[in-house]
Amino acid sequence: MKWRFVSVMLITLLGFAPSAHAFITLDAIVPSSPVAGETVAARVSAGVCDTIIESPGYPQITQSGNAIRMLLETAHSDDPVFCNFGTGTIDLSFGEFPAGAYTLQLDRHYVDFIGVSVTQTVGSASFIVAGGDAVTPLPTLGAASAVVLGTGMLALAGFMLRRRARTIVYAATRGTRQR
């Protein structure tokens, strides 16, 4: 009986325990289809017990071939009492690239409560940079062009109907009908 009471109390008290909701996420690459020479950015969200902080030398961006690494300076708290950073999303630009396929790895750095330096990988995303030659769109019909085209088609249809009518009349006078 005593064991059941302790189990029920423990489960009940666990329901009242505060939980920390910390997050930093790599949401997307912006723009979604970059073109060579266009600035590319990482859309990053953070909040509650995690935040991105401005610090000299950060973000640190390194590139090795087609692998890009961005290291952010962040703050982190495991104690729910200090989880008051709020939530938000930011676009962090990390460069312009020639055409090709790339992978971005987003890492974070923070110093924990006891002074230990921690570096964690937040996420990675692959993206393709298209060539710099812009696609030239085909011209479309404006209102005036549509009127000219419509008038031309009506004139051609009238000409063809009049020609067919003459052929039928001529055939009728000769006793045969042609189509």
Query: For the chain, how many structural domains are there in total?
Result: 2
Whether residues 95 and 154 share a domain: the answer is: no
User: Based on C-alpha coordinates, what's the Rg of the chain?
Assistant: 35
Whether residues 32 and 92 share a domain: the answer is: yes
Q: Global pTM? A: 0.62
pLDDT at 14: 45
How high is the mean pLDDT in each 10-residue block of the chain (179 residues)?
58 48 87 92 93 91 95 89 87 93 95 90 94 62 78 83 70 60
List, in sequence order, the alpha helices (H) in 17-138: none
Which H/E stretch holds residue 162?
helix 143-174
pLDDT at 86: 85
Whether residues 37 and 108 share a domain: the answer is: yes
Tokens of 72: 């952010």
Q: Look at residues 76, 78, 56, 69 and name the one whose alpha carbon lies nearest to residue 107.
A: 69
Q: Which of 89, 107, 129 is the last residue of a domain?
A: 129
CA 79, 83, 88, 93 torsion-angle sign? negative
Q: Which domain holds residue 99?
A: 19-129
